[in-house]
Amino acid sequence: MFGPIADAIARILEVILNLIQVLVIASVLISWVGGDPGNQMVGVIRNLTEPLYRPLRRLTRNLPGPIDWAPMIVLLLVMFVQYGIIPYIRMEGRVGP
């Protein structure tokens, strides 16, 4: 009964998580090459990723070294949802009476 709904939810989550991965990777690349802050695309990417990074930066600001751990943590969380939660949603949707 819930199979198609669970599959649709899983697919929507996959699309959102893939978009988050692309944005995070783009954000990291921009930070490495020193993207022009006046560029509209750079601004959009930063505006979309900074809300994801901000809470994690508060947690990781006391870690030693000059590395910003927030993008890595976001990617790890995305992978956890992709490989740990989405298969469970699909499995629950396939369970029948």
**What domain range is 88 assigned to?**
3-92
- Judge whether 12 lies within some domain: yes
- Judge whether 76 lies within some domain: yes
- Judge whether 97 lies within some domain: no
| pLDDT tens column, 3-17 | 788 889 999 999 999
The pLDDT value given to residue 73? 95
Cβ atoms of 39 and 27 within 8 Å: the answer is: no
- Judge whether 13 lies within some domain: yes
Residue 96, pLDDT > 70, answer no
pTM over 0.75? The answer is: yes
- Judge whether 31 lies within some domain: yes
The terminus-to-terminus CA distance of the chain in angstroms comes to 9
| pLDDT tens column, 28-86 | 999 999 878 888 999 999 999 999 999 999 998 888 888 889 999 999 999 999 999 99
The pLDDT value given to residue 86? 92
Please tell me the total count of domains within the chain: 1
Q: Which amino acid is at 54?
A: R
Residue 68 DSSP label? -
- Judge whether 54 lies within some domain: yes
